[in-house]
Amino acid sequence: MPDLLLELRSEEIPARLQRKAAGDLKKLVTDALVEAGLSYEGAREYWTPRRLTLDIRGLTARSADVREEKKGPRTDANEKAIEGFLRGAGLSSVSEAQIQSDPKKGDFYIAIMSKPGRAAEEIISDVMPGIIRDFPWPKPMRWGAASAQPGSLRWVRPLQSIVCTFGTEHEETVVIPFSIDGIVASNVTYGHRFHTPGAITVKRFGDYIANLEKAKVILDGERRKDIILHDARDVAFANGLELVEDEGLLEEVSGLVEWPQVLMGSFEEDYLSIPAEIIRLTIKTNQKCFVTRPVGGDALSNKFILVSNIEASDGGKEIIHGNGKVVRARLSDALHFWKRDQGDLPDLETLEASAKKFGLDLKKPLDQRMAKLDALGVTFHAKLGTQGERVERIRAMAAKVAFPLGADYKLVDRAVVLAKADLRTEAVGEFPELQGVMGRKYAALQGEDAVVATAIEEHYKPQGPSDQLPQDKVAITVALADKLDTLIGFWAVDEKPTGSKDPFALRRAALGVIRILLERRVRLTLLPRITSHMGRIDTDIGKAVDDNDLSRQFDLLSFFHDRLKVYLRDQGARYDLIDSVLTPETDDLLMVARRVEALTAFITSEDGKNLLVGTKRATQILAAEEKKGTVVADGVSENLFRLDAEKELFAAITKASAEASAAVEKEDFRSAMEALSKLRAPVDSFFNDVLVNDEDAAIRANRLALLRLIREATGTVADFSKISG
């Protein structure tokens, strides 16, 4: 079966777009071929800075013939209906249609439409121009004289050539004939821009990839990454160092080169006085280079690893020299930022009001930056005011959170006041990724308590599902206060996530709150804090609201519930078990997790399975009778018992309910489940021996009240009616 080779070669494609673009090309082409009636054995995509390549193996040479029957109207239908049928079927008269008889419906027309199969070459030639023209680049461009014409080709960078060959392994391949905006598909590609820029004629993928490698182009992006990583490790090891690995940078650098050459540069050791985070980001952001450190050490060395796209005749000396000059210039700027941030601001007298508001010491550099942040009125959000106003709100929320966590409020308040101060530092202005990190370093330099310094950095955590959580109670308190203020604030001004859009990362903030509460075992009732804090925000922004309308507050709580369900489901919990313990008012999320954990263990046991069956039967009967309006007694009367099974069930419920309630009070949900499991036998006996719908209305009402006791007893732990099984 024939194979298809496709290459789209252009000017340099941004590294961040290459992998996805290659995947998009594979999906678009294979989907189009399959839709046209072809099949294939396998397909793989490749990419370099200058080309997207697709290798499709075992493509069928021709699509199958298609025979289709189209049913028409009855033979005695009106003329317009028959004419419409003929047009749709492509027939010129009813004589070209067939007639079929149906004993019930009578005679009707049938059109037999045959579509002959098409050669794969014809299909490929038809679908490729549209795929190329409509390719989903995020920001395509037009170029050259043709760009002035309406409908001219748009591509991420100027498209230069197309390779499209088709054929079997043992026969001559053919070029699929198509063109787009003057670029004609051929069997000619080109090698490395500098080393081997000449034309290369190719037949199929095997000689294509081999010839490219001879022309100093490594087509496989994963292989380029592997070469860079291992060569970088080897170069570092040869110099008594180890590479500080960075997967994101490795992915980017592999998309910048077609023929990777790993070299080592250096800078003056004096620059090592700059924090390692700044050095690493400076070198990574500006020069796409890796840093190194002594083997087994934490501090960085003054050697860096760079990756060139050229195999230089001088062994890379000039490349190293050029990169070194830029790195030193950037580090000189970084050293300047680092020193400036430790000095006094020039206009301290203008900051006294802000300093008084937050209890700041203007002799300390970080305090000055916080005062400056407030004095400048830096906007946090147009509807939610300034950063200074936000810090005041976070302080208020932290006060509501610190006590249940057992955190030292003075340390919490100091950490909150300084948490955003590094936003006014020059280091964070240059590298926003370092917010929090630099705050911690500057706090330590001015003698803050270590717990406060740590909280300044960790209050942003976790940044995602796999990020570390804050450790200390003070850091946990500040992290919760910050995230809760963010969520409550945006809910107050109706800036909630919609669909896939979440510009303020509110889903991430909610997941952060949930992870902290559950993984750090924090007991915190959310609804009172949401309600009081939203009231404060409404007052701050001058929003008039009905104090009795809690729809926004419950909507935010529901948002937490949705995130909690996703989190617990990822941990292996069943959705029905989560739903059985969640009510719209549930706001102690740790207790939800603990109930689900206990319920999961119980419901999979034999006692749990049997009790579930009996309980669901009881609740379903009760619900059906309640819906019909059947009288249910207000309480159970022992005088109306007629059978031993009734007496035994009532005694068992009374005992189990008391034990379960006591266990729930102690938050011992496993013991509560064990107490309820003792209901299994009496419930089974009751349904075996007792007819609930007795002819005597009083006895029936009493027995229904007994069923209600079962529902109430199990309801202390969960709503068993929501549990499947």
**Mean pLDDT over each residue of the chain, to the nearest integer:** 93
Helical H segments across 298-386, by residue range: 317-340, 352-358, 365-375
CA proximity to 211, closest of 409, 398, 5, 354: 5
Q: Which domain holds residue 645?
A: 595-722
In this structure, of 107-121, 128-142, 311-325, 474-488, the range with the lowest mean pLDDT score is 107-121
Q: Quick one: pLDDT at residue 89?
A: 79
Asked if the structure places residue 568 within a domain, the reply is no
**Across 481-490, average pLDDT:** 98
Asked if the structure places residue 155 within a domain, the reply is yes
Q: Quick one: pLDDT at residue 714?
A: 86
Asked if the structure places residue 576 within a domain, the reply is no
Per-residue pLDDT reduced to its tens digit, 68-113 = 778 888 888 888 888 888 888 778 887 888 888 888 778 888 888 7
Q: How many CB atoms lie within 10 A of CB 574?
A: 18
Q: Which residues contact 620 (CB under 8 A, 6 or more apart)?
A: 721
Mapping DSSP to helix (H, G, I), strand (E, B) and coil, where does residue 144 land?
coil
**Residues 31, 107 within the same domain:** no
Per-residue pLDDT reduced to its tens digit, 668-714 = 888 888 888 888 889 889 989 989 888 999 999 999 999 999 889 88
Asked if the structure places residue 520 within a domain, the reply is yes
Per-residue pLDDT reduced to its tens digit, 416-463 = 999 999 999 999 999 999 999 999 999 999 999 999 999 999 999 999
CA proximity to 624, closest of 707, 695, 690, 680: 707
Distance (Å, rounded) from C-alpha 531 to C-alpha 533? 6
Per-residue pLDDT reduced to its tens digit, 592-633 = 999 999 899 888 888 788 778 878 888 888 888 888 888 989
Per-residue pLDDT reduced to its tens digit, 699-712 = 999 999 999 998 89
**Across 266-283, average pLDDT:** 95
Q: Calculate the dihedral angle through the C-alpha atoms of 144, 146, 150, 156, rounding to the nearest 10 degrees.
A: -50
pTM exceeding 0.75: yes
Tokens describing residue 669: 């949900």
Domain boundary at 315, 342, 369, which? Answer: 342
**pLDDT reading at 725 higher than 80:** no
**Residues 201, 96 within the same domain:** no
Q: Quick one: pLDDT at residue 679?
A: 86
**Residues 490, 355 within the same domain:** yes
**Across 300-313, average pLDDT:** 96
Q: SS3 for 102-124, per residue? A: ECCCEEEEEEEEEECCCEHHHHH
Per-residue pLDDT reduced to its tens digit, 553-597 = 999 999 999 999 999 999 999 999 999 999 999 999 999 999 999
**pLDDT reading at 146 higher than 90:** no
**pLDDT reading at 1 higher than 80:** yes
**pLDDT reading at 724 higher than 90:** no
CA proximity to 200, closest of 174, 209, 191: 191
Q: Which residues contact 198 (CB under 8 A, 6 or more apart)?
A: 190, 191, 215
Asked if the structure places residue 14 within a domain, the reply is yes
**Residues 94, 230 within the same domain:** no
Q: How many CB atoms lie within 10 A of CB 430?
A: 17
Tokens describing residue 182: 């003057």
- When pLDDT is cut at 50, 70 and 90, the band that residue 163 belongs to is very high
Distance (Å, rounded) from C-alpha 22 to C-alpha 55? 11
CB contact burial 658-682 (16+ within 10 A = b; e otherwise) = ebbbebbeeebbebbbbbbbbbbbb
**Residues 410, 526 within the same domain:** yes
Distance (Å, rounded) from C-alpha 326 to C-alpha 68? 69
Asked if the structure places residue 555 within a domain, the reply is no
Q: Quick one: pLDDT at residue 98?
A: 83
Burial of 347 per CB tally in 10 Å (0-12, 13-18, 19+)? exposed
**Residues 405, 529 within the same domain:** yes
- When pLDDT is cut at 50, 70 and 90, the band that residue 61 belongs to is very high
**Residues 36, 89 within the same domain:** no
Asked if the structure places residue 625 within a domain, the reply is yes
**Residues 523, 441 within the same domain:** yes
**pLDDT reading at 170 higher than 90:** no
Q: Quick one: pLDDT at residue 721?
A: 83
CA proximity to 388, closest of 363, 424, 362, 412: 424
Q: Tell how strand 183-186 and strand 159-167 pair up.
A: parallel
**Residues 155, 242 within the same domain:** no
Per-residue pLDDT reduced to its tens digit, 523-548 = 999 999 999 999 999 999 998 888 88
**Residues 178, 297 within the same domain:** no
**Residues 272, 184 within the same domain:** no
Q: Quick one: pLDDT at residue 447?
A: 96
% of the chain surpassing 90 pLDDT: 76
Structurally, the chain folds into a number of domains equal to 5
Q: What is the domain-level CATH number for residue 412? A: 1.10.3210
Domain boundary at 342, 367, 389, which? Answer: 342
**Residues 330, 374 within the same domain:** no
Q: What is the domain-level CATH number for residue 705? A: 1.10.730.10
Q: Quick one: pLDDT at residue 606?
A: 83
Burial of 317 per CB tally in 10 Å (0-12, 13-18, 19+)? exposed
Cis peptide leading into 462, omega within 30 of 0? yes
Asked if the structure places residue 174 within a domain, the reply is yes
